[in-house]
Structure 1
Amino acid sequence: MDMTITVTPELGTIGIWRHYSGIPPELAHTIEGAGYGAIWLGGSPPANLASAEEVLDATESIVVATGIVNIWSADAPEVAESFHRIEKKHPGRFLLGVGAGHPEATQEYKKPYEALVDYLDALDEGGVPIGRRVLAALGPKVLKLSADRTAGAHPYLTTPEHTAEARAILGPDKVLAPEHKVVLDTDPKRARDIGRPPVNNPYLHLRNYTNNLERLGYSKEEIGDGGSDRLIDALVAHGNAAAIAQRLGQHIDAGASHVIVHALPDQADPSEVYREIAAAFL
C-alpha cells in the first residue's frame, strides 16, 4: 500500500481534549454543534478504539482523534485492524494519535524512541497511512520523527513558545495540534486553584514534561512545589472567554495548525465552557 495517499482529515483551527470515557453522545453533539473541528480522546484509549467509534457513531462530520493511544498498552496490529474497521464505517473522519507516554507509567518503558519507530513500522505493516496518524511529541527528536513518519505532532502541556519551536522542526506543512488547559473564571486565584492540581499531579512529577518545561525556561523551583503562579498561568489559560480565546490564538500565531481546548475541572460538565470559547474564538 502507498502510505502517502490518504489525505489527513481537516481538523479546523480548534478542537477539544477530554478523557475517552467522558464523551457521551449529547456532549459530542454539543461540541460538533459549537463549531469545533475535532474531538481528541485522551487517557490511553484501548487498542479496539471502541471509544472513538462510539463518538463517530454519535456525530455527523467532526473528526475524532486519539490523544493518545499508548504504544506500551495497545498492540499495534490490533490498532491497525481497528483503524481499518473505523475507516470503513466512517471514511476520512478518524486520526490516530499515538505516543510513548512517560517512563514513570510502566515498568516496560525502555528506549522510547526506538519503541516508537518499531510501532510506526508495525502500523506501516498494518496499512495505517502516514497521513492518518500523529505522534505525541515534545522534544526535538520525536518532533523530527513526527515530521518524517506521520502527519504531524500533538504536543501536550505546552506553551505558544514551544509551538513556535515545534513548527520550526516540523516544517510548514505538517499538523501541529497542541493541547491547552483552560478555566473559564475571571478570578485569577480561583482559576489557579482549579488549574494547579491537574497540572501538578501528575505532570510536574514526570520527567518528560519537566524536562520540556526547563527547556522552555522554567526553573526547577518554579516547577517544584505545585508550580509557580507564572508556570500555571502559562499552562492554564483563564479569564473570560475572550481572554482564553486570545491565549489560544497565540498558539495559532506561533504556528499551530489546530489548537485543542482542555476544559478544567475535568469532572465538571464542560458544555457551556466549550460554547463560550468557540463563540469567542471562531
Structure 2
Amino acid sequence: MELSGVGIWSQELRYGDAAEAAEAAAELEELGYSALWVPDVGGPVFDAVGRLLAATRGTVVATGILNLWMHEPADAAASHAALTAEHGARFLMGIGVSHAPLIDHEEPGRYRRPLAAMRGFLDGLDGAAPPVPAAERVLAALGPKMVELAAGRSRGVHPYLVTPDHTRAAREALGAGPLVLPEQTAILSADADEARAIGTGWLKAYLALPNYANNLLRLGFSHEDLDTVSDRVFDALIAWGDEEAIKRRVDEHRAAGADHVCLQVLTAEPSAFPRKEWRRLADALR
C-alpha cells in the first residue's frame, strides 16, 4: 500500500452524521484527496472505517490513530481482515499509544511503558489469524525510539502535531523506503486574530499532553512557548492564511521527506464538516 499526495484528517468523518460523512467521503475522493484519516478514543472505530470504505472506490482509509489501550489486537486484526476482504487493501491501520492523562483518567496507573505496550500490540497483530501485514500498518511515532520501532515493525510513521523539521528528522532516521505521513493542521484565514481565535484553544489542549509537549521541547520550543501558546509555536504547528499559504506548508513537509501529508482543517464551527474549505484547498493542491 503506497500513499502520496494529500489526504484529509477529520474527526467529523468519524463522529459526525454518518450520512453526511459518507457523502463527504465520496466528494473528497472526487476532489483528489488520496486518503481519509479518522481518530479513535474507543468505540466502534472499525464501523466508521467500513462506512468510509463503502462510500469510496479507491481511497485509502486510515486510523489516525487506533488507540491500542482501547482495543484487543486479535479483535483489531479480525476487523482489518474483514474490511480488507470486502473492500480490498485500502485500510491502513495507524496505531498509537495515546497519552497518560487520557488513559489514566478512567483507570489510574494503566498507562505505563508505552513502547513495550506497542511492541506487545504488534506481537498480537502478528500472531493473529490472519495477521495484519506490516505493510498495512503505521505507528504514531514522535520520539526516536518509537520511530525506530516503526522502521522494523510497520510501513512507516504517522506523526501528529508536528513541524517540517520533525518530518525531516523522521525521514533521516527511517532512511528511504518507510512512509512518513505527517498530519498538518490548517486554518483558511488570512486574518491573524481570526486564526488565533479558531486555533488557540484547540492547540492549548494538545500542548497540555505530555507526549506532544515533550516532542516540541525536543524540537527546540520552550516551556514558555507551550504555556502561553506563543506565536512561534502557533505558527509552527498550524498553517494559516490563504490556499497558497497552506500549500507552502504542505510543500515544506514534502521537501523534508514526507510521502503524504494529511490536512486537518479547523474552522469557527468545530463540529461542522469543513466541506467548503476542503474544496478550496483541493483546487490549490492539484
TM-score range, shorter chain: over 0.9
Percentage of pairs with the same residue: 41
1:14 to 6, 24, 30: 6
Q: Secondary structure at the match of 2:10?
A: strand
Contact 2:188/2:242 (<8 A) preserved: yes
Q: Which residue of 1 aligns with 2:220?
A: 217
Gaps of 5+ in 2: 105-109
Q: Secondary structure at the match of 1:234?
A: helix
2:153 corresponds to 1:159: no
Q: Which residue of 1 aligns with 2:51?
A: 54
For 2:132, the aligned partner's letter is V
Give how far 1:48 is off. 6.1
- Residues 107-146 of structure 1: pairs in structure 2 closer than 5 A: 107=104, 108-126=110-128, 127-146=131-150
Contact 2:42/2:70 (<8 A) preserved: no
**Shift >4 Å, 4+ stretches:** none
Q: How many residues align?
A: 272
Give the Cα–Cα distance (whole angstroms) in 1 for the partners of residues 101 and 141 of structure 2: 17
Which shows bigger deviation, 263-272 or 50-59? 263-272
Which shows bigger deviation, 134-143 or 15-24? 15-24
Give the Cα–Cα distance (whole angstroms) in 2 for the partners of residues 25 and 50 of structure 1: 12
Give how far 1:233 is off. 0.9
2:280 corresponds to 1:276: yes
Contact 2:184/2:263 (<8 A) preserved: yes
2:39 corresponds to 1:42: yes
Give the Cα–Cα distance (whole angstroms) in 1 for the partners of residues 9 and 42 of structure 2: 13
2:71 to 74, 95, 98: 74
Give the Cα–Cα distance (whole angstroms) in 2 for the partners of residues 253 and 280 of structure 1: 18
Gaps of 5+ in 1: 1-7
Q: Which residue of 1 aligns with 2:107?
A: none
Q: Secondary structure at the match of 2:190?
A: coil
CA shift digits 1:159-210 (9 cap, x unpaired): 0000000111111111111001100011012112111111111x11111111
Q: Secondary structure at the match of 1:198?
A: helix
Q: Which residue of 1 aligns with 2:23?
A: 26
Q: Which residue of 1 aligns with 2:211?
A: 208
Give the Cα–Cα distance (whole angstroms) in 1 for the partners of residues 247 and 233 of structure 2: 19
Q: Which residue of 2 aligns with 1:97?
A: 94
C-alpha RMSD over aligned residues: 1.2
Contact 1:44/1:67 (<8 A) preserved: no
Give how far 1:272 is off. 1.5
Give the Cα–Cα distance (whole angstroms) in 2 for the partners of residues 125 and 273 of structure 1: 42
Give how far 1:47 is off. 6.2
Give how far 1:45 is off. 5.3
Give the Cα–Cα distance (whole angstroms) in 2 for the partners of residues 183 and 32 of structure 1: 21
For 1:234, the aligned partner's letter is A
Give how far 1:30 is off. 1.7
Give the Cα–Cα distance (whole angstroms) in 2 for the partners of residues 234 and 277 of structure 1: 19
TM-score (norm 1): 0.93
Give how far 1:228 is off. 0.3
CA shift digits 1:50-85 (9 cap, x unpaired): 110010011111110000111101111100000000
Give the Cα–Cα distance (whole angstroms) in 1 for the partners of residues 42 and 277 of structure 2: 24
Give the Cα–Cα distance (whole angstroms) in 1 for the partners of residues 3 and 24 of structure 2: 18
Give the Cα–Cα distance (whole angstroms) in 1 for the partners of residues 42 and 36 of structure 2: 13
For 2:114, the aligned partner's letter is P
For 1:272, the aligned partner's letter is K
Give the Cα–Cα distance (whole angstroms) in 2 for the partners of residues 149 and 47 of structure 1: 25
TM-score (norm 2): 0.92
Q: Which residue of 2 aligns with 1:231?
A: 233
